[in-house]
Amino acid sequence: MKTETTPEEARADLPIHSVAVIGAGSIGIAWSIVFACAGINVRICELDDTRRDSALASAESLLSEMEGAGLLSQATAGILERMSVWEELSDAVSGVGYVQECVVEDVDVKRELFRQLDQLTPHDVVLASSTSTIPSSKFASDLPGRARCLVVHPANPPYFLRVAEVVPAEFTSPTAVATTVSILKRAQIFSVHLNSEIEGFALNRLQGALLREAYCLVQDGVISAVDVDTLVREGLGRRWSVIGPFTTSELNTRGGLRQHSEVLGPVYARLGLERGHENPWTPDTINTVAKAIEQNLPFASWEENVRQRDHAMIQIASRLKGFDNPLVQCESE
Ligand SMILES: NC(=O)c1ccc[n+]([C@@H]2O[C@H](COP(=O)([O-])OP(=O)(O)OC[C@H]3O[C@@H](n4cnc5c(N)ncnc54)[C@H](O)[C@@H]3O)[C@@H](O)[C@H]2O)c1
């Protein structure tokens, strides 16, 4: 049995006081806000002069609006004081405990940047990529310090959608993962752990499944594009703001998810076949999913669980009362 804590594991528990964010596009600015709001100093690196000059103003504009809406626990000015902008990569990463890379989605650009980051930082500094689709083994596998490289893919924008996918490569150390989860927790971001690298990770695969069907429905002339958006925005999306699709199946059907899969599994399998996908839900997988959901929501309390879902929906509805969505008017024009 392992009894001693290695220096690296001990370091994973140490608070990180400053991070570097590389790239000041929309994702870089968003991560900077998330970390600075959590009390962490953020050193932003941006190559482009115009973007570098406007980075703090972009952050200030978003933070001020969030402050006006009562979303910040401290004043914008105090949060901005923790942000600095740098041109040179070596200056930006000096003394940081964690790096969040947010440059263009180009594997060659990321490979060259990670090569430099690996040389410029001690090997216990985590190097996380925000990439939406590229596994870190495609750009970090040859590096001497590859054990601290991984993907931390945020939902966009991360200051509102507080979840990120943590995707280690085979070579990523458990310490790097633990440090990452710890800093995300401090920044109030839920971590979703992927057990293996897969192109598109999970979030974009889920989004892709919905988009594939949406495009097919429009292409087949079944529904307009605007109505697809309305169905998701007013229906699925509203419900998904309090429960995910598996919990939806659990609570929408008397008999729970197991009953839901029995009745609707064959229907969904047929619909999939219509689109050329043959991947029916197996009894084993249904059992795995049901057991996971029932752990949080015991089936014996099904009626109470449904009441809690309704309670959550009522709270959302009451917060959205009077919400005038400017984008909906644009959609119907
Ligand atoms: N946009 C999204 O919805 C979204 C969501 C999640 C993750 N991501 C991922 O986040 C990353 C950034 O996305 P974005 O939309 O902010 O991109 P973007 O193109 O808007 O911004 C990238 C920035 O990085 C800068 N840059 C490029 N190379 C650099 C370098 N070597 N050093 C410093 N700065 C450099 C560019 O000048 C630019 O300002 C991508 O990998 C993307 O896939 C994007």
Task: Check whether residue 255 and residue 136 sit in a common domain.
Answer: no
Task: Check whether residue 258 and residue 178 sit in a common domain.
Answer: no
* Domain membership flag for residue 224: no
Binding site membership of 121 for ligand 1 (Cβ less than 6 Å): no
Q: Which of 27, 7, 13 is nearest to 180 (CA)?
A: 13
Q: Which of 20, 175, 188, 2 is nearest to 103 (CA)?
A: 20
The Å distance, Cα 202 to ligand 1 centre, comes to 20
> 159, 193, 227: which is the final residue of a domain?
193
Task: Check whether residue 37 and residue 172 sit in a common domain.
Answer: yes
* Domain membership flag for residue 99: yes
Please report the pLDDT score of residue 94 as a whole number.
95
Task: Check whether residue 63 and residue 179 sit in a common domain.
Answer: yes
* Domain membership flag for residue 91: yes
Binding site membership of 131 for ligand 1 (Cβ less than 6 Å): yes
For 230-251, the pLDDT digits (tens) are 999 999 999 999 999 999 999 9
Choice from 21, 34, 103 to test ligand 1 binding pocket (greatest atom count within 8 A of CB): 103
Which residue spans within the chain are E strands per DSSP? 18-22, 41-45, 83-86, 98-101, 126-129, 149-154, 163-168, 190-193
Instruction: Name the pTM for this structure.
Output: 0.92
Confidence of residue 12 (pLDDT cuts 50, 70, 90): low
* Domain membership flag for residue 93: yes
- Which residue's C-alpha comes closest to atom 31 of ligand 1? 113
Range of the domain at 270: 241-332
Please report the pLDDT score of residue 2 as a whole number.
43
Has residue 1 got a pLDDT over 60? Answer: no
Count the Cβ atoms, other than its own, within 10 Å of residue 186: 14
For 210-230, the pLDDT digits (tens) are 999 999 999 999 999 999 999
Please report the pLDDT score of residue 15 as a whole number.
81
> 193, 223, 257: which is the final residue of a domain?
193
Mean pLDDT of the chain: 94
* Domain membership flag for residue 222: no
How far is Cα 213 from Cα 98, in angstroms, rounded to an integer? 39
Task: Check whether residue 246 and residue 163 sit in a common domain.
Answer: no
How far is Cα 217 from Cα 278, in angstroms, rounded to an integer? 19
Task: Quote the longest CA-to-CA distance of the chain.
Answer: 66
> 193, 220, 254: which is the final residue of a domain?
193
* Domain membership flag for residue 179: yes
Has residue 3 got a pLDDT over 50? Answer: no
* Sequence-ordered list of residues with C-beta below 8 angstroms from that of 319, at least 6 positions apart, any chain: none
Mean pLDDT value across residues 168-173: 98
Task: Check whether residue 17 and residue 154 sit in a common domain.
Answer: yes
- Which residue's C-alpha comes closest to atom 35 of ligand 1? 23
Please report the pLDDT score of residue 186 as a whole number.
96
How far is Cα 91 from Cα 249, in angstroms, rounded to an integer? 51
Q: Is the peptide bond before 157 cis (omega within 30 degrees of 0)?
A: yes
Binding site membership of 101 for ligand 1 (Cβ less than 6 Å): no
* Domain membership flag for residue 302: yes
Task: Check whether residue 131 and residue 56 sit in a common domain.
Answer: yes
| CATH number assigned to the domain comprising residue 48 | 3.40.50.720
For 96-140, the pLDDT digits (tens) are 999 999 999 999 999 999 999 999 999 999 999 999 999 999 999
Instruction: Reduce the DSSP state of residue 189 to 3 states and report it.
Output: coil
Task: Check whether residue 55 and residue 154 sit in a common domain.
Answer: yes
- Which residue's C-alpha comes closest to atom 7 of ligand 1? 132
Confidence of residue 188 (pLDDT cuts 50, 70, 90): very high
* Domain membership flag for residue 288: yes
Instruction: Reduce the DSSP state of residue 109 to 3 states and report it.
Output: helix
For 267-315, the pLDDT digits (tens) are 999 999 999 999 889 999 999 999 999 999 999 999 999 999 999 999 9
- Provide the domain count of the chain: 2
How far is Cα 93 from Cα 147, in angstroms, rounded to an integer? 18
Task: Check whether residue 148 and residue 16 sit in a common domain.
Answer: yes
Task: Check whether residue 262 and residue 171 sit in a common domain.
Answer: no
Q: How far is CA 145 from CA 108, 121, 244, 332, in A?
A: 18, 9, 37, 52
